[in-house]
Amino acid sequence: MILNLMQGVGKTTLIVKVFETLKSSNPNLKIQGFYTSEVRQGGERVGFQVVTLDGRTAPLASSIISSPESLRWPNVGKYKVDVASFESMAIPELQVREDTDLFIIDEVSKMELFGSSFFPAVLRVLESNVPVLASVPIPKVGCDILAGT
């Protein structure tokens, strides 16, 4: 199942609730993947992080980081995307294994697609015949997230 919804409608909340319900009803279910969550500071969203299904986190994007390294990072709106951090956490979670019952991918959007490894990893998951629960935001009119325009 792929959720193709607009931004801000609760995609991540729904995916996390589905994951928690599946794990509590069947603890032996082998679920791989990740979701993204907002990083807030003083009530304001200042970025996003990637969260593995076992609770590990890594930065995805930030509007407040200012390091020499971050000057080379791609931008999405006001956010600088830390591609290396995201891919180091997310890509291992998308490795196809024989015992995997379900993949969760939240989400497939412009920030995640900046890296060269993410899209091929998602394709391998989709080609694996393992069920997938993923979210893909509806792009703004005239904007194709896969083309990056």
Instruction: Map out the domains of the chain as residue ranges.
Output: 2-137
Span 47-68, pLDDT tens digits: 999 999 999 999 999 999 888 8
67, two tokens: 């390091």
pTM of this structure: 0.84
Residue 79 φ/ψ region, left for φ over 0, alpha for ψ in the -120 to 50 degree band, beta for the rest: beta
CB 90 within 8 A of CB 106: no
Mean pLDDT in order along the chain per 10 residues (149 residues): 54 91 96 96 95 97 90 92 96 96 93 93 96 84 50
Output 78-81 pairs: Cβ under 8 A, ≥24 positions apart. Answer: 79/47, 79/48, 79/111, 81/111, 81/114
Distance of CA 33 to the CA centre of its chain: 9
Q: Which helix (H) or strand (E) holds 31?
A: strand 31-41
Q: What is the pLDDT of residue 8?
A: 57
Instruction: Identify the CATH homologous superfamily for domain 2-137.
Output: P-loop containing nucleotide triphosphate hydrolases (3.40.50.300)
